[in-house]
Every structure is written in structure tokens, then in C-alpha cells.
Amino acid sequence: ARAMLATATARGAHARPRCARHESGCARRRRRRVVVVNANANANDDDARGGGRRETLVALASSLAVCASFVRAREGGGATARAGVSIEDDSAVRRAIRDALTANVIKTKCPAVLRLVFHDAGTYLESAGDGGMNASVTYELNRPESFGLKRGLSVVKSAYEALQGTAAEGKVSFADMIACAGAYAVEFTGGPTFLERVPLGRADASTADPENRMPEQTLGGREMREHFARSGVSTRDMVALAGAHTIGGKGFGDAYTFDNAYYATLVADPWNKPNMTKDEAEMAEHIGLPSDKYMREDEENMKWITKYASDQDAFYADFVDAYLRLTSLGARFVF
């Protein structure tokens, strides 16, 4: 991954400020440096004339740290995506985020919140070097694939507004809050806890990301792998992230329980059995998306599907790593 350093400008570094104090915080962050996290690692120093030698070296070292984590992740080391030097890792900020989410997220909205995350982060395209988790989804609600996203967006907006007057005000972008809300939704529905591991410091977009970046629901298993590969997402990460379909109205199993039921259903393949048992008949009622059923038709995908169906802990661990990588790819982390 290229990790490009550039001076953040006032234009486009953040979406509309929510309040005066937030505006001043945004202005301070625009004057700082950024790291753009891409899928392949490579660091380029920016013009040193913009700051002192020490500042430049610190920024470069930070970007290299980000790159190293993504290189290890691409090589299968399971490294967690982290912003090298994002905003200060202040426990008071983390507490404020958790408190805001606890007060505003209800279990029945968790599937919508998690879907919002994937639609915001899913616009990243490795070859173009743009898109990713940047809150651009707020400008993309009229697109066909965005139908229903307002349900999740309204929840995140309420939680974000609750940060006003707390230690997190002016230090957390809306893109950060979307990423954090998704992590909280997973935890709230019984999945792994990793909210405090979500890196902070993303810059908010001021315009929509390019269109036609989201995968079609009718893609076959191999086509899905190829689509996500263009976004720098491995097969393992793609299959692990697909496990989020275990919750929601078209989910697999309990609509509000984050577990490995998705994979158990895919392994059982109840839709193609003429004489089903009672359990298989119940599984067959899981609607899902066409792409879910097609995913099992690919041998490489099935390797991970089978693993997660028999090992929920492995699914949880890989989902967390994949989530943290996905929500960092393409993001501009502001210093």
C-alpha cells in the first residue's frame, strides 16, 4: 500500500462542522498532516518546506508504521489496521464515544448501522486510490444501492451529536463515528468486542465518492473475490466480512445475534435439498442475498466458509481484523 503524506487543506478535509467548537477543532486538524492508507505499502515524503525536519521525519515514520501493518495483513499475518499517529488515544475520548453509542443505538437498528459501514467503506478502489471510509455515504443516499441506509445513518448522527460537550468533541470525525458505531453494533448483538481498537482521526469527505463501486447482489463466488481484490481485500477478509449477514431482516439465524450461523447455513446448503429435515427447512427460510448462495460455489471461498462454520472464535478473530482493515483502507488519517 501506498501511504501518501500530504498537507490537509481546508477544502474537503471535513464535512460540514456541527458546531462552533467542532469547527475550530476541524480547522486545527486541517493544518496537520495526513496519512492515506492504501492496500499496498509505499511511503512518499511530502515537501519538507512546509515544516521542520523533525516534523517531516515524525510524519514519515508514522506513515511507515501504518504501511508495515498493512503489509503484514496482506501476507496473512492478521495484523490489525492502525493509524500510525492519529488523534491522541485519550481514554476520555473513548469513554465519550462508548457512552454516546450506548445511549443512542438500539439492538433492532444494529443491522442497519453495520450495513452503513460497509456502504461507506466499500467505495475504496485500489487502482484509483480513492473512496473508503470517509463519511461520503451522507452524499450518496439517492443511489439505488443506498436504499434503506437512512435508518442506520440517523442512529449514527444522533450518537455523533451526543459527543458535543464531551472530551470527544472536535476530535472525532463523522467517518470515525460510523466505523465505531459498526463495531458497537457487532458487540451489542453478541459478537466480539473491539470498539476501542477502531483507529480514530479520519478526515470527512465533502463530496460523494465515485459511483458503481459497490458489488452487485448477483455476483458469483469467483466474481465476488475479483471485485473485492480490486479493493485490496483478500478472500479471507471478504468471507469473514460476509458473516455480518448473520444479522438483519435477511439474515441467517436470529436477526439480532451475531454468530457463525451464516456459515453453517452455507455449508448445509438447504436450498438445494429435495428432502429436508426440520432444521434444514428452517435454514432454507433464510433468504439472504443471491451472492450469499453463490459464494459457496467457489472453492477458495468454501475453504473459509467451512472453517468459520466449525470455529466461531476463528470467525470472530478474522472478522475483527478484516473490519479494522476495511475501515482504514483509503482513509485519510489526520494528524
Residues marked active site are found at: 119
CA distances from 311 to 174, 237, 241, 288 (A): 34, 16, 15, 21
DSSP codes of every residue in 285-319:
T----HHHHHHTTSHHHHHHHHHHHH-HHHHHHHH
What are the grid coordinates assigned to 95, written together?
Answer: 469513554
CA distance 47 to 109: 45
Helix (H, G, I), strand (E, B) or coil at 153: helix
What are the grid coordinates assigned to 68, written together?
Answer: 508495515
Over the range 43-66, which residues count as b (16 or more CB within 10 Å of their CB) and which as e? beebeeeeeeeeebebbbebbbbb
DSSP label at residue 8? P
Helical H runs in the chain?
Answer: 20-30, 53-74, 91-104, 110-121, 149-161, 174-188, 221-229, 235-242, 261-268, 278-284, 290-295, 299-310, 312-326
CA distance 21 to 13: 16
Residues 6+ apart with CB under 8 A from 335: 29, 32, 33, 34, 35, 59, 62, 85, 86, 201
CA distance 326 to 328: 5
